[in-house]
């Protein structure tokens, strides 16, 4: 049976639920460690809700601790789950402030438990998740993440159909841009509310360097995919074409997995953090809430303007062609491939 703990902090209701699966199977042998982890998690959540500003925005918060991701389907539509952060899974439960839930990965907490920075890591991850939920509530979030049907005529699927595959890539390009923005806001909030943000030239340069590395990774991935596509389209011999098609699918599926699971190693977090940080570094009149209320196109264009003020090349642009990655150029390149090869 699940263990439920109810608390009230300054009139705000906090519910902590430990799923029964953390004491079953292989976890049953770790009873002593489990009890220590549960004490750590409970104390950290309560301290977080008492002292961290972002938690004070919500009148009610639910924290569900589990080792079983399938548990989510019992509570919520799995399509609304956002797996974000090294130590927690956030779940979007609608726009009502009264119903906010964060799913916490018990195994991941076990992984950081011996770390001297475990408290900061845990609170930063919680701040990141709640920043996402706060962002949803104060912005027109559905407009931010809604996919433009003119660019994505078919749903994303792992398909071995060339026409569907190309449509999917257009949709992925769109989604990665929105992910960079939303994860940037989440990552900035996670660091801001745990006192890890300072506006200095050194930090600005460090974040820019990280972002340029991530942008180059994405550019190389897209080049590999595009080269595979072009090779396939120019080959006439069936046996060779089948071999090249396998390479094309392999690189496409790699892009699909990287972009759609928001893999932290890929860098949408670093790209997004740099973008939000840069805007606030340059424009002292803005704050995070004002940015969060902007749509993603306005955020990207504001970022481009700030980078122009710094005489730096933006890592991302929307239609200006000035960024290392330019969304319009990506779409135009795909459209050219469609039209020249009569795929549409």
Taking residues 192-203, report their average pLDDT: 96
Residues whose CB falls within 8 Å of the CB of residue 195, separated by 6 or more in sequence, listed in order: none
Taking residues 185-194, report their average pLDDT: 94
Q: Taking 90 as the threshold, does the pLDDT of residue 173 lie above it?
A: no
Sole residue written with tokens 């994405």: 218
Domain boundaries of the chain, sorted by first residue: 3-138, 162-340
Q: In terms of DSSP bridges, do strands 101-105 and 60-66 run parallel, antiparallel, or are they unpaired?
A: parallel
Confidence (pTM): 0.81
Higher pLDDT, 4 or 255: 4
Exposed, middle or buried: residue 195 (CB in 10 Å: 0-12, 13-18, 19+)?
exposed
DSSP string, 172-235: HHHHHHHHHHHHHHHHHHHHHTTT-----HHHHHHHHHHHHHHHHHHHHHHHHHHHHHHHHHH-
Tokens of residue 220, six digits: 């190389």
Gap between the terminal Cα atoms of the chain: 54
Per DSSP, 320 falls in state: S
Confidence of residue 247 (pLDDT cuts 50, 70, 90): low
Task: Give the residue from 49, 64, 36 showing the smallest Cα distance to 7.
Answer: 49
Taking residues 88-106, report their average pLDDT: 57
Torsion angle of alpha carbons 31, 36, 38, 44, nearest 10°?
A: -170
Per DSSP, 194 falls in state: T
Residues whose CB falls within 8 Å of the CB of residue 288, separated by 6 or more in sequence, listed in order: 185, 188, 189, 192, 276, 280
Taking residues 68-95, report their average pLDDT: 42
pLDDT > 90: percent of the chain: 35
Tokens of residue 343, six digits: 């795929």
Tokens of residue 157, six digits: 């699927």
Exposed, middle or buried: residue 336 (CB in 10 Å: 0-12, 13-18, 19+)?
exposed
Taking residues 301-323, report their average pLDDT: 97
Higher pLDDT, 217 or 9: 9
Taking residues 8-33, report their average pLDDT: 81
Confidence of residue 218 (pLDDT cuts 50, 70, 90): confident
Tokens of residue 323, six digits: 């960024």
Residue 125: how many other CB atoms lie within 10 Å: 25
């Amino acid at each position: 049976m699940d263990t439920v703990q109810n608390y009230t902090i300054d009139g705000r209701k906090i519910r902590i639920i430990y799923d029964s699966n953390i004491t079953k199977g292989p976890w049953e042998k770790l009873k002593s460690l489990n009890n220590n982890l549960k004490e750590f998690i409970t104390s950290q959540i309560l301290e977080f809700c008492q002292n961290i500003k972002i938690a004070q925005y919500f009148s009610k918060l639910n924290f569900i601790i589990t080792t079983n991701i399938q548990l989510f389907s019992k509570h919520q539509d799995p399509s609304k789950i956002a797996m974000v952060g090294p130590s927690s899974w956030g779940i979007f439960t609608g726009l009502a402030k009264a119903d906010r839930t964060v799913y916490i990965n018990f195994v991941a907490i076990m992984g950081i438990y011996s770390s001297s920075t475990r408290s900061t890591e845990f609170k930063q991850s919680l701040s990141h998740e709640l920043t996402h939920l706060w962002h949803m509530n104060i912005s027109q979030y559905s407009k931010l993440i809604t996919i433009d049907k003119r660019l994505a005529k078919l749903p994303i699927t792992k398909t071995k159909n060339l026409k569907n595959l190309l449509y999917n890539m257009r949709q992925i390009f769109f989604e990665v841009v929105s992910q960079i923005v939303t994860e940037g806001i989440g990552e900035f909030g996670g660091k801001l509310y745990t006192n890890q943000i300072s506006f200095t030239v050194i930090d600005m340069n460090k974040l820019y360097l990280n972002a340029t590395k991530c942008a180059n990774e994405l550019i190389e991935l897209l080049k590999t995919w595009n080269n595979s596509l072009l090779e396939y389209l120019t080959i006439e011999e069936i046996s060779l074409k089948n071999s090249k098609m396998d390479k094309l699918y392999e690189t496409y599926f790699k892009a699909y997995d990287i972009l759609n699971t928001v893999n932290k190693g890929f860098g949408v977090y670093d790209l997004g953090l740099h973008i939000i940080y840069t805007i606030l570094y340059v424009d002292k009149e803005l704050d995070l809430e004002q940015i969060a209320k902007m749509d993603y196109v306005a955020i990207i264009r504001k970022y481009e303007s700030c980078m122009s003020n710094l005489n730096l090349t933006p890592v991302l642009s929307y239609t200006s062609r000035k960024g290392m990655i330019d969304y319009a150029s990506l779409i135009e390149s795909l459209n050219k491939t469609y039209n020249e090869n009569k795929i549409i």
